[in-house]
């Protein structure tokens, strides 16, 4: 049975523009104003986090919009403390909407005496009182199994497919989807299948951790417009090297579609100086002005996707239908009507 109360949104400080955009999209769906719950998330002088919710949330279906991006620890603590505040205020159900799930890269013990931090974060969220998680492109899909509560993992692949078909219209036969490593083959294959394009792989060999000894291309990219697909771009070192390698192997153009633009350190400078004609990221992470002003970086919105997913969660309809272009195209009609 659908919930009787309206869904209510609350946001921390990690990505308020995205939270506001989601509320605006939900207002369009509901035909009524959906705003963010009035609250303050502040710091004491010693940087302890303080949360106070001003609106009554008793019995409400609450959605906390808070990616755990940089600063990851602060944003994670904000999420946990907001959850505790809502639980102690008798919210009926608490869904953590985490557009970027931090610590996801630590999903297994690759070496002795190392943590599985993704599992620790899952435990923290559950113990704090989160009833459900809604996220986007988990670095490793098995992280869903770290939770004993429902987890809806949305995908950027349908949005990227729409964007590619829109921006490369008339050139689709020139495209080649490229995975930047063997581990990302499934992600690249998903987009390649959606747009009916061939696929190549950049194979990396490491002599020791953090240092790439050799990179080779598996597949013929000569004369192709290559599109690198990945979930996270941090310092962009590997991405830029992969783009240069593809160009050296005869690719006419190199573009990249990355879900989460972490873009730390020298990333923006490297991307602007690289052979890549464009890097497309989502707004799962709030980007600073240098990223927004970069000549070859473009940001695509996820608010329509999250707004519809929240509505589907609230009224008990299918979330997985958002993985299909037929469902997603009407949601993004203003952007991709000519796709």
Give whole-number Cα distances, 173 to 148, 165, 176, 224, in Å. Answer: 44, 11, 9, 9
Q: Calculate helix-pair angle for 185-195, 157-167, nearest 10 degrees.
A: 50
Q: Which helix (H) or strand (E) holds 21?
A: helix 16-30
Strands 49-53 and 39-43: antiparallel
Q: Which helix (H) or strand (E) holds 199?
A: strand 199-208
Q: What percent of the chain has pLDDT over 90?
A: 83
Active site residues: 204
* 3-state secondary structure at position 90: coil
- pLDDT tens-digit readout, 253-307: 999 999 999 999 999 999 999 999 999 999 999 999 999 999 999 999 999 999 9
From the list 238, 233, 304, 246, the residue with the least C-alpha distance to 277 is 246
From the list 158, 164, 162, 213, the residue with the least C-alpha distance to 190 is 158
CA–CA separation, 20 and 333 (whole Å): 20
- pLDDT tens-digit readout, 224-238: 999 999 999 999 999
Please report which residue ranges of 168-258 form alpha helices under DSSP H.
Answer: 185-195, 237-248
- pLDDT tens-digit readout, 9-54: 999 999 999 999 999 999 887 666 788 999 999 999 999 999 999 9
The conformation of residue 286, written as its DSSP 8-state character, comes to P
Q: Is 307 exposed, middle or buried (0-12, 13-18, 19+ CB in 10 A)?
A: buried
Residue listed under structure tokens 């308020």: 16
CA–CA separation, 224 and 1 (whole Å): 51
- pLDDT tens-digit readout, 132-174: 999 999 999 999 999 999 999 999 999 999 999 999 999 999 9
């Amino acid at each position: 049975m659908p919930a009787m109360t309206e869904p209510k949104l609350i946001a921390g400080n990690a990505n308020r523009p995205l939270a506001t955009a989601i509320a605006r999209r939900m207002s369009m769906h509901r035909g009524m104003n959906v705003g963010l719950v009035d609250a303050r998330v502040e710091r004491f002088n010693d940087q302890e986090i303080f949360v106070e919710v001003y609106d009554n949330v008793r019995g409400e279906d609450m959605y906390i919009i808070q990616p755990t991006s940089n600063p990851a620890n602060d944003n994670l603590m904000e999420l946990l403390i907001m959850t505790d505040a809502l639980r102690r205020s008798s919210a009926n159900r608490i869904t953590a909407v985490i557009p970027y799930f931090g610590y996801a890269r630590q999903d297994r013990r690759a070496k002795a005496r190392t943590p599985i931090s993704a599992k620790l974060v899952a435990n923290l969220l559950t113990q704090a009182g989160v009833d459900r998680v809604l996220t986007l492109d988990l670095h490793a899909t098995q992280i869903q199994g770290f939770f004993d509560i429902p987890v809806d993992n949305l995908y950027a692949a349908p949005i990227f497919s729409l964007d590619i078909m829109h921006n490369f219209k008339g050139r689709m036969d020139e495209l080649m989807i490229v995975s930047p490593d063997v581990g990302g083959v499934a992600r690249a294959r998903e987009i390649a299948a959606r747009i009916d394009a061939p696929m190549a792989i950049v194979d990396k060999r490491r002599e020791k951790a953090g240092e790439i000894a050799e990179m080779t291309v598996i597949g013929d990219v000569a004369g192709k417009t290559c599109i690198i697909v990945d979930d996270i771009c941090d310092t962009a070192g590997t991405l830029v090297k992969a783009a240069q390698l593809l160009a050296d192997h005869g690719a006419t153009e190199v573009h990249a579609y990355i879900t989460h633009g972490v873009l730390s350190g020298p990333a923006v400078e490297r991307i602007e100086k690289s052979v890549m004609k464009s890097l497309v990221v989502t707004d799962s992470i709030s980007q600073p002005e240098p990223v927004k002003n970069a000549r070859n970086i473009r940001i695509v919105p996820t608010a329509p996707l999250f707004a519809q997913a929240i509505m589907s969660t609230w009224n008990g309809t299918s979330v997985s239908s958002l993985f299909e272009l037929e469902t997603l195209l009407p949601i993004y009609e203003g952007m991709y009507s000519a796709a």
